[in-house]
Amino acid sequence: MMFQLIEHVVFTLVLAVLINVYYRKGPRYFLKIIVLAVKELPGVQTLIDQVLKKEVTSFVKSSTLAQDVVASKPRIVLPKSAFSSDDLHVQMGNLLKRECNTQEDGNVFAYTYTMKDEHFKLQEEAFDMFEEKTGHSAEQDKIVKEFFHAFMHENALNPMIFPALRLMETEVVSMTAAMLNGDREVVGFLTSGGTESNLMAVKTFRDYGRAQRPHIRRPNIVTPISVHPTIDKAAHYFDMDVIHTPMDKDFRADVKAIEQAINSDTVLIVASAPQFCHSVMDPIEEIGALALRKGIPLHVDACFGGFMLPWVEKLGYKIPKFDFRVPGVTSMSADVHKYGYSVKGASVILYRNADIRKHQIYAYAEWPGGLYGSPSMAGTRPGGNIASAWAAMKALGESGYMGKAREIMDITDKMKARITSIKGLCLMGEPCMSAFAIGSSDSNLNIQAVADVMETKGWKMERCQTPDCLHCSILPHHTGKADKFLDDLEAATKHCMDNKALAKKGTAGVYGMMANIPDKGIVTDFLVEFFSEVYTCK
């Protein structure tokens, strides 16, 4: 009897609230409340998802994208051999036929704001002058630039207006997924670089975590201190916490420390393949097993190594599994504009399946300007970067990437062997690919002072800290330069060993001072002030 009374009171209160909502907010808002309530009933959301998927598929087949929709389309993989210049020019011509010719037809009312005039040509020339060499042959470089020029003023914001960009993006993502041993379920998007790829991964798993576990209060990420700062940057932007765990003695992630750091608000674990500081690979297989046990997604930041490690492994180097072969890996980032040899502004973020990827997409249906959707941080997405990434991968193919990897690893091995023979120097940990960090094996040698001396000889050195060391990424332009670098390094090391006062001067002195400041917030403020000053027009 008491239960029936309570039930009656609750029903009356709910009815009163609904009536109040109807009269205060109007019938449209009232209907929205009813729909939201119905969606919470068991099985209803699944039914809605099925209907939506059917409607979307039907719409795409009836749209201008229909020519690209093939039900049994196979996974697009890297060609075994590089496409010839003629083949790529034919493909570029076919791709351009798909696009709206906004400048000649004049039938598009958004997205493109430029004309093919003298101003346009100046921009092409500026790109050619300042874009660094990609590492291709001269002919391949020319092809990549032609693709950039052809699509540089197109905007991938709307795939309906520029379907060729959509096609090239999906093929770049597919080729990258296959390269990293992803199955047909692995999907992703192109971004402007590793920073955006990692930001998107963090945002995606924040939202995915909240959807899976509504009790989460403040989402956090567990990751080694060696992870790239873009993960911390993403957490800062998306109002999350980062729990940093220590490295082991070999500069790899400490798996036990990661396990101990995980709590009920953890939505993501991040590991590196490899971490940039020392080019050391985190134990992805162990962390993946932990992620599976805990039911927490694992993102592998392979921005640096994604386009090099697969080929280094095929060359016979001992590379532990780091990609989608590891069951616990749910996402990966890999930069096409690093060892993929595309122009700057191209990276790929991959997810284990489309259900996860949906949490990256932003959509807004109530704007008076129309329906808005965006797959990444950027709204406008430069077409030239997408086209260049596509051309770069097709222009090299597996054989081209293997050849580049072999050339660069030969230089790397040579440099590592010579460095370990120089008195006072050592390599940090066990670098796994075409990069390494140089440290001091003698307490009397300040490695930052060595960097200062090297810079007087014209070398631009990358400095790491805690512990101090010098990072070296070996690149195509180091061919023919390695011996000069090694000779200068040996001389600089001896000079610093003989002149210990150098440790208190120049950048070495600054790093030493910074290391002794207990409050790193002061150092952070210094960096903010530095960037503010440097980017002031005077």
* CB neighbours of residue 469 within 10 Å: 25
When computed from its CA atoms, the radius of gyration of the chain, rounded to whole angstroms, is 27
Question: What pLDDT does residue 165 have?
Answer: 83
* CB neighbours of residue 476 within 10 Å: 16
Question: What pLDDT does residue 387 have?
Answer: 84
| Single-letter code of the amino acid located at 486 | L
The first and second tokens of residue 498, run together, are: 């003989």
* CB neighbours of residue 342 within 10 Å: 31
Dihedral-angle region of residue 295 (phi above 0 means left; psi in -120 to 50 means alpha; beta otherwise): left
Question: What pLDDT does residue 32 have?
Answer: 62
Angstrom distance (rounded) from CA 42 to CA 25: 28
Question: What pLDDT does residue 70 have?
Answer: 43
Q: What is the pLDDT of residues 259-285, one digit of tens each?
A: 999 999 999 999 999 999 999 999 999
The first and second tokens of residue 244, run together, are: 């940093």
pTM above 0.85, yes or no: no
Question: What pLDDT does residue 110 have?
Answer: 47
Question: What pLDDT does residue 537 have?
Answer: 72
The answer to whether 343 touches 322, Cβ cutoff 8 Å, is no
CATH topology of domain 85-398: Aspartate Aminotransferase; domain 2 (3.40.640)
Question: What pLDDT does residue 417 have?
Answer: 97
Which positions ≥6 away from 303 have C-beta within 8 Å?
194, 197, 198, 228, 333, 334, 335, 338, 347
Residue 449 belongs to what H/E stretch?
Answer: helix 447-456
Closest to 395 measured CA to CA, from 37, 87, 16, 2: 87
Angstrom distance (rounded) from CA 190 to CA 233: 19
Angle at CA 386, nearest 5°, toward 362 and 401?
Answer: 125
Tell me, what DSSP letter sits at residue 263? -
Q: What is the pLDDT of residues 134-153, one digit of tens each?
A: 555 666 667 676 777 666 66
Give the HSE-up count for residue 76: Cα atoms under 13 Å, Cβ half-sphere: 16
Tell me, what DSSP letter sits at residue 155? B
Which positions ≥6 away from 77 have C-beta within 8 Å?
174, 175, 178, 179
| Residue 274, helix vs strand vs coil | coil
The first and second tokens of residue 177, run together, are: 């997924």
Angstrom distance (rounded) from CA 404 to CA 476: 8
| β-pairing verdict for 298-301 and 329-335 | parallel
| Single-letter code of the amino acid located at 288 | G
Q: Find tokens 């790193």 and name the residue.
A: 520
Phi, psi of 370 (to 5 degrees): 120, 180
Beta bridge partners of 439: 426
Question: What pLDDT does residue 197 have?
Answer: 98
Beta bridge partners of 187: 351
The string over 16-41, giving b where at least 16 C-beta atoms fall within 10 Å of a residue's C-beta and e elsewhere, is eeeeebeeeeeeeebeeeeeeeeeee
The answer to whether 346 touches 388, Cβ cutoff 8 Å, is yes
Question: What pLDDT does residue 86 have?
Answer: 81
Question: What pLDDT does residue 72 have?
Answer: 43
Spell out the domain ranges in the chain: 2-68, 85-398, 400-534
Q: How far is CA 189 from CA 61, 96, 152, 384, in A?
A: 21, 21, 19, 16
CB-neighbour burial class of residue 144 (10 A; exposed 0-12, middle 13-18, buried 19+): buried
Angstrom distance (rounded) from CA 79 to CA 252: 34
Angstrom distance (rounded) from CA 103 to CA 233: 39
Angstrom distance (rounded) from CA 291 to CA 327: 9
CATH topology of domain 400-534: Aspartate Aminotransferase, domain 1 (3.90.1150)
Q: What is the pLDDT of residues 74-123, one digit of tens each?
A: 679 999 988 887 888 788 777 776 665 545 454 554 445 455 656 556 55
Question: What pLDDT does residue 423 have?
Answer: 96
Closest to 425 measured CA to CA, from 338, 497, 519, 346: 497
Tell me, what DSSP letter sits at residue 325? T
Question: What pLDDT does residue 98 have?
Answer: 64
Low-confidence ranges of the chain (pLDDT < 70): 1-23, 25-45, 47-74, 97-141, 143, 145, 149-160, 506-520, 523, 534, 538
Phi, psi of 488 (to 5 degrees): -65, -40
The answer to whether 194 touches 253, Cβ cutoff 8 Å, is no
Tell me, what DSSP letter sits at residue 379? S
Q: Find tokens 């709206």 and name the residue.
A: 100
Angstrom distance (rounded) from CA 240 to CA 251: 25
